[in-house]
Amino acid sequence: MKKLISLLSIFLLIGCSVEPTPIYEFELNAGLELDENGYYHLEMEEGVTQVLHKFEVDTNNPNIQMVHWVCDTYYEMDYFGYTELVPIINESSYTYTDGKAYTMFGPHSEQVGDTVMVMVGYTDTETLEVYVLNFMVVLD
């Protein structure tokens, strides 16, 4: 009986001393106009082959994190007689000490009229919590 009470006391003390996993606000700053349907719009410049735009996320996490960026649109590039599919987004970046990470997005003029789905996320290196955001960009 004494062992049972001792074990219960230990479990209660250990259980009460565990701190909850911190959850951080993960925020996107697309730097683009948002329409009533929740789509961002990137104005493509006429006569320019490729338009570059910078996206920013704020992890609000005090630890430096690797952030991954993925989109569903590629550019077909001829490279020494071979055709290669090249992503139109830089696929990874790191946060600075302020919790912000940046990437470059570079659609091409022949993609005008397309809607690009972008997904950005990271896994917290300390808590292993996964954070993901998706958003759509219309190439006008």
Do the domain assignments include residue 114? yes
Do the domain assignments include residue 11? no
Distance (Å, rounded) from C-alpha 45 to C-alpha 140? 9
On the question of pLDDT at 75 being above 90, the answer is yes
Reported as a single tens digit per residue, the pLDDT across 81-117 is: 999 999 999 999 999 999 999 999 999 999 999 999 9
Task: Supply 65's token pair.
Answer: 């994190």
Say what the pLDDT of residue 4 is. 46
Split into its structural domains, the chain has a count of 1
**Beta strand ranges found along the chain (DSSP E):** 27-29, 33-34, 39-42, 53-58, 66-71, 74-79, 82-87, 92-94, 100-105, 115-123, 130-139
Do the domain assignments include residue 132? yes
Do the domain assignments include residue 119? yes
Do the domain assignments include residue 76? yes
Name the band, by pLDDT with cuts 50, 70 and 90, for residue 46.
confident
Mean pLDDT of the region 46-72 = 96
Q: Give the predicted TM-score (pTM) of the model.
A: 0.82
What are the Cα distances from residue 10, in Å, to 1, 3, 19, 20?
A: 14, 11, 16, 19
CATH number at residue 116: 2.60.40.10
Mean pLDDT of the region 30-43 = 96
Distance (Å, rounded) from C-alpha 118 to C-alpha 105? 10
Do the domain assignments include residue 75? yes
Do the domain assignments include residue 29? yes
Do the domain assignments include residue 90? yes
